Chain A
Amino acid sequence: MALAPLDESITLDQLSSDPYPIYRRLRAESPVLRVAATGRTLLTKAALTKAVKENPELFSSDDPHTPMKPAFRAHTLMRKDGQAHFVERKAISKALTPKMIKTDWGPLYEQLAEEYVARLPRGETVDLFSELCGPLAARILAHILGIPEANDEQMQRWSQVLIDGAGNFGWKPELFAASDAANDEMDALFAALEPKRRAEPDGSAYSVMLNADDPIPMSQIYSNIKIAIGGGINEPRDALATIVYGLLTNPDQLAEVRAQEAWDKAFEEGIRWVAPIQVSSRRALEDTELGGCDILKGDTVMTVQASANRDEEIYEDGENFFVFRDKNPHQAFGNGPHHCAGAHVARRTVGKIILPMLFDRFPNMTLPDPEAVIWKGFGFRGPINLPVVLN
């Protein structure tokens, strides 16, 4: 066999402005492709991305040289395998289960969403992305994590700085300086809140981790919270903006979603259509083979879930937003042991609470100029603005 073909024409700019036509071509022509601009082997078919993520013995999440380490000042669970991952994951998962979210947190989320939606001005053009999607995601997350003392601005800034640091493959010092400053702020806040979260246990992630029978080390409790800050704001924000866009540009579907109260379906379709986290990386621990190409020990493969989610083998007309699909086995939350720990939180808050509320309060919301919406991103993707008129 031979190595995957090498592409030297695809650029990061192309991938960031609109990767979908490229992915479509790759699914048809070369689903395993070394793309020079990314330094990785891109996998664009659903069966391949799933197989890799569900085989952690062969495809490791651990990257000893990840910029995530300096950015988070820790080796986080996202980059661990096996038992080490399981222990840390279990510690935070307990606060994020379907049951916990439904029974313990549901009413609070509802109230927060109510407050933030009520603040929006009627009859004006509003950038829903910056006025609602970001701040509300930040507020809800602050409560889930047990750090509601952090304000929306801090949460959103920390999140962005952590993400920028984790993606700092060029090792630019100013990005790590920014993440260091944010880490100082977070560490100080966590330390200040610790006695209270111990003394008055609640269902928040911090409290659950601190008060566990067999707690994980303090450093890992901190890094778990930071991972959730980094991974729990932009994705629901981008998901919400994507879904609102999809519904407003497809009024027939919106009418049907309303009639059937199919908001959860709209949620799943939105994140299928434009996955907020588009790609993930795994490192081969042995020489192996994928889709007829050799993969060498040490190679990094990139699972492109954004592309898997539009795979012709699974979806008819996958390029378009269509809520009422028979089946929607998308991979937007990933697969395997690193499957998103916040999936239930995101489903409930965005799909069950925020979307219905928003369209209920503003039944005649419009997007006057869909062309004005700018989409961006290779690793993470979504609209970066959403100018709607609220009525």
Chain B
Amino acid sequence: MIKVTYVAQDGTATTIEAEEGTSVMQAAVSNDLDGIVGECGGSMMCATCHCYVDEAWAERTGERSSDEEEMLEGAADEVTERSRLSCQIRLQPGLDGLVVHLPEEQL
């Protein structure tokens, strides 16, 4: 199992354990976490799974693809160089302990 911590704008942190291969979006949605919507189920069609990868983890989560980049442009909240669509980050052992920050709004 791999741990991910989601930090909301008010500082509340929630840690979730999920299986390897799960996406950061799926882990959040299947645990009913507020702050990640993930309407399209990870098809890169909705931009409601926006998150900001914690600085310490930015290297390890990898690059965003050009398709992800384009979809991300449409996210409701501000997009920064840390922004990712959480459905595009797959959990693997190297990401155990990952920290992501949640935007103010997804819709």
Could you say which residues of chain B place their CB within 8 Å of the CB of A333? 39
**Which of A19-27, A96-104, A112-120, A289-297 binds B?**
A96-104
Q: Indicate if A376 sits at the interface (CB-CB under 8 A).
A: no
| Complex Cα spacing A224 to B48, Å | 22
Instruction: Pick the residue among B40, B44, B47 that contacts A98 (CB under 8 A).
Output: B47
Let me know if A93 and B41 touch, CB within 8 A: no
> Which of B39, B42, B70, B75 is the one whose CB lies under 8 Å from A343?
B39
Report B80 CB to chain A, min CB distance, Å.
14
Contacts of A264 in B (CB 8 A): 107
Does B39 lie within 8 Å of A90, measured CB to CB? Answer: no
Among the interface residues A56, A86, A99, A333, which one has the most CB atoms of the partner chain B within 10 A?
A: A99
- One digit per residue, 1 when the CB lies within 8 angstroms of any chain A CB and 0 when it does not, for chain B 70-81 equals 110111100000
Measured between alpha carbons, how far is A344 from B106 in the docked complex, in Å? 10
Residue of B nearest to A327 (CB): B32
Residues of chain B with a CB closer than 8 A to A100's CB: 74
Question: DSSP majority for the A interface?
Answer: helix
B13 proximity list for chain A (CB < 8 A): none
Q: A343, B46: Cβ atoms under 8 Å?
A: yes
Which residues 38-68 of B have a CB within 8 angstroms of A? 39-48, 67
Q: When chains A and B are docked, how far (Å) is the Cα of A339 from the Cα of B43?
A: 9
Interchain nearest-CB distance for A85 vs B (Å): 9
Question: Which of B43, B73, B74, B76 contacts A337 (CB under 8 A)?
Answer: B43
Smallest CB-CB separation from A98: which chain B residue? B76
Chain B CB within 8 A of A54 CB: yes
CB distance from A203 to the nearest CB of B (A): 12
Residues of B close to A339: CB separation below 8 A:
39-41, 43, 45-46
A5 interface contact, C-beta 8 A: no
Nearest Cβ on chain A to B64's Cβ, whole angstroms:
15
| Chain B, interface SS category | loop
Interface residues of A in 327-369 (CB under 8 A from B): 327, 333, 335-337, 339, 341, 343-344, 347
Chain A interface residue number, banded? 20 to 34
Q: Which of B77-107 contact A (CB under 8 A)?
A: 106-107
Please give me the residue from chain A that is nearest to B41 by CB atom: A54
Is B41 a contact of A336 with CB atoms below 8 Å?
A: yes
Contacts of A79 in B (CB 8 A): none
In whole Å, how far is B60's beta carbon from the nearest beta carbon of chain A?
27
Considering the complex, give the chain A residue whose CB is closest to the CB of B50: A98
Q: How far is the CB of B24 from chain A (nearest CB, A)?
A: 17
Contacts of B41 in A (CB 8 A): 50, 53-54, 335-337, 339
Query: Bound complex: CA of A50 vs CA of B41, how far in Å?
Result: 9
**A96 proximity list for chain B (CB < 8 A):** 74
- Does B73 contact A98, Cβ atoms closer than 8 Å? no
A93 with B45: CB separation less than 8 A:
yes
Closest chain-A Cβ to B31's Cβ sits at a distance in Å of 12
Tell me whether A80 is interfacial, beta carbon within 8 Å: no
List 11 contacting pairs A-B, 8 Å CB cutoff, sorted by A: A53-B41, A90-B67, A94-B73, A94-B74, A264-B107, A335-B40, A336-B40, A336-B43, A339-B43, A341-B45, A347-B107
Those 8 A-B pairs whose CB atoms lie nearest each other, nearest first: A97-B74, A98-B76, A337-B43, A54-B41, A339-B40, A336-B41, A99-B74, A335-B41
